[in-house]
């Protein structure tokens, strides 16, 4: 099993809808997570960090972490065409004190007007 799996996608939603992105992770991953957004041809941009079980909200974004299920998700409410990008989830190596990250392969989101 890969350390972080991100199998869903590509995802296409209409403007104003809720986009739901998710990842699962293995025991090798420490239980804090990061969501990055990557526009085509650009580098990843950190948009959400979540360190504890439950939900964390930031504007239109809500990250959810379920440690028992080893599952993390990102909800984007009121999706906008500008949200169209690839979303990467990443978790730190459990054995690394300096935070080496394992990334999923990304989910490509398209929000159409």
Please give the Cα distance from 16 to 77 (Å, whole number): 7
**What kind and span of H or E run contains 83?**
none
Binding site for other proteins (CB under 8 A): 4, 6, 30, 32, 34, 36, 42-46, 49, 51, 88, 90, 92-93, 96-106
User: Which C-beta is closer to other proteins: that of 78 or that of 104?
Assistant: 104
Least separation in angstroms between residue 111's CB and other proteins is 20
Least separation in angstroms between residue 8's CB and other proteins is 14
Contact 103, 75 (CB under 8 A): no
User: Which C-beta is closer to other proteins: that of 79 or that of 107?
Assistant: 107
Specify which residues 61 forms β-bridges with.
58, 76
Coil, helix or strand at residue 100: coil
User: Which C-beta is closer to other proteins: that of 66 or that of 108?
Assistant: 108
| CA-closest candidate to residue 74, choices 53, 100, 55 | 55
User: Which C-beta is closer to other proteins: that of 12 or that of 96?
Assistant: 96
């Amino acid at each position: 099993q890969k350390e972080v799996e991100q199998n869903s996608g590509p995802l296409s939603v209409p403007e104003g809808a809720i986009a739901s992105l998710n990842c699962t992770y293995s025991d090798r991953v420490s239980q804090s997570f990061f969501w990055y957004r990557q526009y085509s041809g650009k580098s990843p941009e950190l948009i959400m960090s979540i360190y504890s079980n439950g939900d964390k909200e930031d504007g239109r974004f809500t990250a959810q972490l379920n440690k028992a299920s080893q599952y993390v998700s990102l909800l984007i409410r009121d999706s906008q065409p500008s949200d169209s990008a690839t979303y990467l989830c990443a978790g730190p190596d459990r054995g690394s004190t300096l935070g080496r990250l394992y990334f999923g392969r990304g989910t490509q989101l398209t929000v159409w007007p």
